[in-house]
Structure 1
């Protein structure tokens, strides 16, 4: 019999027996992931209002355009292109660019935790993540980066979640200024 390239099958009975000991930490990690996704989704949805103002359409029409584009990147590209021709105020334009840049930084973290494989340690704790992305190196392709889910990484998640919440408030603060600008610069 040849050696398998597969990782060893987890000892599920042992993991389930050990799981109560790490339940609090696991619940905290899952809560952080949930909050990252929650905040990210709310932020992405707010860009419908940016699109609505730039296109000078009603909310339903903006939502149709938004939903027709099947990736976040395509939606933000459309918003940035429209902004280049619609926003005459350079400060306001740069503020929108910065909001999108900050959102994209949060997208990296959200994607990292949404598109990975989680490794559970012997004590039932979530011990690391393995990215589902292929990484090309000089010697070939490697499957995903593995990162420990240690206290430092949890701290990064907490900071990322807080930043996403701040972006949400900043977009809400930006929207009335964009609306005023678009109203005063009618085509």
Structure 2
């Protein structure tokens, strides 16, 4: 049961780190759209998926009126967030299998993959020591993106 608790703590930390960092998109929206923070919060909350929020920030950054320095600062951060979102999404949209000791042993992805004539679902993957290292690295990477977003917000004078 100790490993079960460790894994749940790690996945909780992954979700906390992600959510905390995703909320910083509010400052990027405010700065790129040239609106106040309150308006950016309303926009952020109206878009109910991470994908939509990242797409909005990316599109705002790509607009011709966006200064090239801001574009150059923001777009790589969005690429990093998109990369880290894959692992985060995996653990938010899966179910778990347990071994005889009651520890989590595998994940089952709750996603349908359509082929021409068949479907596949529930891809099974081990939640082993190697995967735990991947999750830990992902948490560190997301935390680094968090710091980088704050640096961009400050460097570009975006609302805080």
- Whether TM-score is above 0.5 comes out as yes
Q: Normalised by the size of structure 1, how large is the TM-score?
A: 0.79
Asked whether the equivalents of residues 40 and 110 of structure 1 are also in contact (C-alpha less than 8 Å), the reply is: yes
What is the rounded CA distance, in whole Å, between the counterparts of 2:131 and 2:96 in structure 1? 14
What SS does structure 2 have at the residue aligned with 1:160? Answer: helix
Q: Does 1:70 align with 2:45?
A: no
Alignment coverage as a number of residue pairs: 158
Equivalent residues in 2 for 1:93-112, closer than 5 Å: 93-112=71-90
**How far did residue 139 of structure 1 move?**
5.4
- When the two chains are superposed, the root-mean-square deviation of aligned CA atoms in Å is 1.7
Asked whether the equivalents of residues 134 and 143 of structure 1 are also in contact (C-alpha less than 8 Å), the reply is: yes
Q: Deviations over 1:9-60 (max 9, x none)?
A: xxxxxxxxxxxxxx22111111110011001101110000011111222211
Partner of 2:23: 45
What is the rounded CA distance, in whole Å, between the counterparts of 1:178 and 1:76 in structure 2? 18
Q: Does 1:82 align with 2:40?
A: no
Q: Does 1:33 align with 2:30?
A: no
Q: What residue ranges of structure 2 are gaps of 5+ in the alignment?
A: none
What SS does structure 2 have at the residue aligned with 1:102? Answer: helix
Partner of 1:4: none
What SS does structure 2 have at the residue aligned with 1:128? Answer: strand
Q: Does 1:140 align with 2:118?
A: yes
What is the rounded CA distance, in whole Å, between the counterparts of 1:31 and 1:137 in structure 2? 36
**How far did residue 138 of structure 1 move?**
5.4
Partner of 1:10: none
Partner of 1:159: 137
Q: What residue ranges of structure 1 are gaps of 5+ in the alignment?
A: 1-22, 183-187
Tell me which structure has the larger Cα radius of gyration.
1
Q: Which runs of 4+ in 1 moved over 3 A?
A: none
Partner of 1:18: none
